[in-house]
Chains A and B, each alone.
Chain A
Amino acid sequence: MKKNVWNVIRLLGMPVILYGIFCLLAKGFGLHSLPVVISQSMIPTMMGLGLYQVMNADLMDLSMGARTMFAAIIGGLLAQNGGVAGLIAGCFLGGFLVSVVMAVLYRYLRIPAMVISLGIILIFEVAGAKMVGSSGYLRIAPEEYFIASYPLNVVIVAAAAAFAYFLNYRTRIGTYITAVGNDEKMCKNVGINPERVKFQAITLMGIFCSLAALLYICYSGSITAATEMASMSMVFRPIMCVILGRYMRKYLDCMPLLIFIGGLSITIIFNGFIAMGFSEAIQDIVLGVFLIAILGSDAVMGSFHSKKAAAKA
């Protein structure tokens, strides 16, 4: 227990140190900007929680951005007449609908998930664009923005993370998703149906997709339909959150918390560079270097420690 608390402190140290560095380097970056940074990390964290469900089952899905946008569009449309209730219902309806479509296609067509996800992107981006009409974007009423306001957005993500924790660590389906990601053949030998488990993983991802859609449309107050696979760019930050989370798992086996730490760290870097006036290209380069440095340092430190241990022996 003590060890776990110490590990949480150590892991939270990464975003804290990063934040501290940018407070020193960037003008306008300080404690007052913390709620903004935290708020901005909520959408990638929520999407990361969803992506983790499928990545844990050894699937790769690039369509989460398209699905989130489609759900947000449905939510936005229903909000026109239904207000907040319509917005929430629409996001959940859209998120589930697309996720179930993807799960069904995956299960019955037996095509790799990545291929299906590319098809889903193309179809649902166009569908979303048709729905919003010729203007290409959709607004929601300002009184609906509160859902993504600080600290309610943090509460929503915390609730989703708690749900993800229970799902992954305290339910049978969570155990099976991990098992399928480990070895499908072995799963069959212990009576687990891998195809059904993957179907469930993709469907469950819909919950996080819906919540991400809700945060997304409420955060910006409007949504612009994406075309030509532009929604794919939304997936890369959440994927990095999951990769960082997986890397940190050896210190603490609690993926939802680790995904949040990953999401927060990445957002701090992006915002820090914006505050320093760097271009988007430079931001991307630095983020890539950060990811490689974190993962690479582990290998270097591992080799250093084994050499040190051998020398001691």
Chain B
Amino acid sequence: MEQTEYMLCAKGMTKSFGITRALKGVELYLKKGEVLGLIGENGSGKSTLTSIIAGIQPADSGEVTLCGEAYSVKNSVEANQKGICMILQEKATFDQLSVAHNIFIGNETAFQKGGILDNERMYQEAEKILAELGVDGINPRDKIRDRSFEDGKLVELARAAFLKPRILIVDETTTALSQNGRAILYAMMEKIKKNGGGVIFISHDIQEMMEKCDRLTVLRDGDYVDTIDKPEFSEGKIKKLMVGREIADNYYRGDHVCSYEKEVVLRFEKVTTKHLKEVSLELHKGEILGFGGLADSGMHDIGKASFGAIPILEGQVADKSGEPISNPRESMQKRIAYIGKNRDQESLFPNSPIRDNIAIASYKKLAKSTFIAPGKETAFVQEWAEKLDVKMQNIDQYVMELSGGNKQKVALAKWLGFGADIFVLDCPTRGIDIGVKASIYRLMEELKAEGKSIILISEELPEVIGMSDRIVILKDGSVSGEFERSELLTEHTLINYMV
């Protein structure tokens, strides 16, 4: 194929972080009027490659051309000026600024007269952009700190829409969006495509990629693997290209039996929190208890309340002996572990090494009187990092340098090493590739077999159905349905109880 039919060509792209080679001569070709999917496991180099194209970081070497001309940018503003815009996986809005100021940040010149910003005109223009996108209920005057995470993502979309990009890069954004938010994003992608632009789309949801993309470029461990056209799309083939080995279609539990012991290990007694209303339920020994619901249904409060991380306004969460749990310290004494949905803020210290992150919950065990034996600590961390197969340079590597999946493995290693009996996992596979996902599911099965109990909170219904012994659906803070594991249970059935 002649390279001139491509609007963006990236060849021989390399990038290293210390001794880690994130990109090893990767290539990417984007045609006019197409959505190109970029897929690969965590740490395969997708975000690194696209952030280089978007001007966020420089490449070590490689050549990029845009519409046949050499393309080189020093920062994202230059990339925006050349028509390339990126929506990042992480939060990219400023809490203290208004919605309108967030939309136009870096591009305020159009609203400036004699050095003074015309805020009113900014608000009007923001309102117009939001309306054109189909976003309702966001006041441009509101501060971002008063809006939800999803609203923040929609504001980022509006920011991109204002820039009218020729090429839009969407990096793992859909997991943060509701169905409505996703529809807005897809419509925006379609519009760019129709206008002869291009979209580079990154997601771990293979179904979504197959549905939305015209071609798929697969990366693995910083290497280019292959690019396949839509007619060649099949889940099996994509998974095989991503992982480099066959992955079973169904990587959830193979059995369809609801199995657990009689002993109750955790009990919710009419628990009321900010988002929960008199919720009563029981978690049994050896049980995986799944929770599903809409984002604001209160299901995330279940996790936090189980760990004593939020105030319980009425009722109580009690352990097997009936003793209430009111704070994380007590929870840890009762061998309860919690991995939050937002792992960088709730479960990890990204600016600390893997060593500290894994050992932190187990210092009591590692310490001899007040001193921690360095040798014992190293052996402990090494053992759990290896058991969880964390891809790292060494245990002194900073967690912030790891991919999403490896960060999650570090969070799990911390609690496994601690020796928890109850695992509260809130969206444990969020933003994680299928390889790591499969390994987390296997780990959950092993824990269940050992008699450990798991609370699984997830926004992905197939995951809840595939892994749980019992499923509790929450709606507006109350239990709207409870189901036992069954082959006949479908997403459709659960959705009826969610909305």
Contact = CB atoms under 8 A, between A and B. Distances in A.
A252 to B, nearest CB: 13
A189 interface: yes
Contacts of A307: 313
Nearest to A249: B96
Contacts of B68: none
B203 interface: no
A174 to B, nearest CB: 8
A178 B75 contact: no
B117 A171 contact: yes
A233 interface: no
Contacts of B143: 253
A167 B101 CA distance: 15
A53 B49 CA distance: 37
Contacts of B112: 172
29 contacts: A169-B119, A171-B116, A171-B117, A172-B109, A175-B101, A175-B108, A178-B94, A179-B96, A181-B96, A182-B94, A182-B95, A182-B96, A183-B94, A186-B91, A186-B92, A186-B94, A189-B76, A190-B77, A190-B92, A190-B105, A191-B75, A191-B76, A191-B77, A191-B78, A191-B106, A253-B143, A306-B311, A310-B313, A313-B277
A175 B313 contact: no
Interface residues of A, number: 24
A234 B97 CA distance: 31
A188 interface: yes
Nearest to B141: A253
B274 A179 contact: no
Contact of B105 (A175, A303, A310): A175
Nearest to B74: A191
A189 B117 contact: no
A175 B112 CA distance: 12
B297 to A, nearest CB: 15
Nearest to A190: B106
A170 interface: yes
- DSSP class of B's interface residues: helix, strand, loop or mixed? loop
Contacts of A183: 94
Interface of A: 166, 169-172, 175, 178-179, 181-183, 186, 188-192, 253, 303, 306-307, 310-311, 313
Contacts of B80: 191
A172 B104 CA distance: 10
A169 B311 CA distance: 36
Contacts of B77: 190-191
B373 to A, nearest CB: 34
A169 B95 CA distance: 15
Contacts of A179: 94, 96-97, 105
B273 to A, nearest CB: 8
A36 B460 CA distance: 65
Contact of A310 (B95, B106, B119, B314): B314
Nearest to B104: A175
Given A191-B80, A192-B106, A310-B272, A182 B117 contact: no
Nearest to A186: B92
A168 B272 CA distance: 41
Contact of B75 (A169, A181, A188, A253): A188
Given A182-B96, A191-B76, A310-B314, A170 B116 contact: yes
B105 A178 contact: no
Contact of A171 (B92, B115, B273): B115
Interface in B75-100: 75-78, 80, 88, 91-97
B66 interface: no
A163 B400 CA distance: 41
A189 B95 contact: no
Contacts of B88: 189
A296 to B, nearest CB: 17
B295 interface: no
A204 B92 CA distance: 27
Identify which of B75, B277, B314 gathers the most chain A CB atoms within 10 Å of its CB: B75
A306 B76 contact: no
B351 to A, nearest CB: 12
A238 B138 CA distance: 36
A190 B117 contact: no
Contact of B116 (A166, A190, A253, A303): A166
Best-surrounded residue of B92, B93, B105 (most CB of chain A within 10 A): B105
Nearest to A173: B115
Given A181-B96, A310-B274, A189 B56 contact: yes
Most central of B92, B96, B109, B273 by chain A CB within 10 Å: B96
A67 to B, nearest CB: 25
A306 B117 contact: no
Contacts of B56: 188-189
Given A169-B119, A178-B94, A179-B96, 14 more contacts: A166-B116, A175-B101, A178-B96, A179-B97, A182-B96, A186-B92, A188-B56, A188-B76, A189-B76, A190-B105, A191-B77, A191-B106, A303-B311, A310-B313
Contacts of A190: 76-77, 92, 105-106
A190 B91 CA distance: 12
A189 B86 CA distance: 10
A188 B115 CA distance: 22
A189 to B, nearest CB: 6
A175 B97 contact: yes
Contacts of A182: 94-97
Contacts of A313: 277
A147 to B, nearest CB: 27
A178 B97 contact: yes
A242 B43 CA distance: 44
Contacts of A181: 96
A306 B313 CA distance: 8
B108 A172 contact: yes
Interface string B295-327: 000000000000000010110000000000000
A4 B359 CA distance: 50
A188 B105 CA distance: 11
Contacts of A171: 115-117
Nearest to A175: B101
A179 B93 CA distance: 9
B254 to A, nearest CB: 42
Given A179-B94, A182-B95, A170 B313 contact: no
Pairs A-B, 9 closest by C-beta atoms: A191-B77, A182-B94, A310-B313, A190-B106, A191-B106, A172-B108, A179-B94, A178-B96, A170-B117
B168 to A, nearest CB: 15
Contacts of B106: 190-192
A166 B117 CA distance: 9
Nearest to B79: A191
A15 to B, nearest CB: 26
A186 B96 CA distance: 13
Interface string B26-42: 00000000000000000
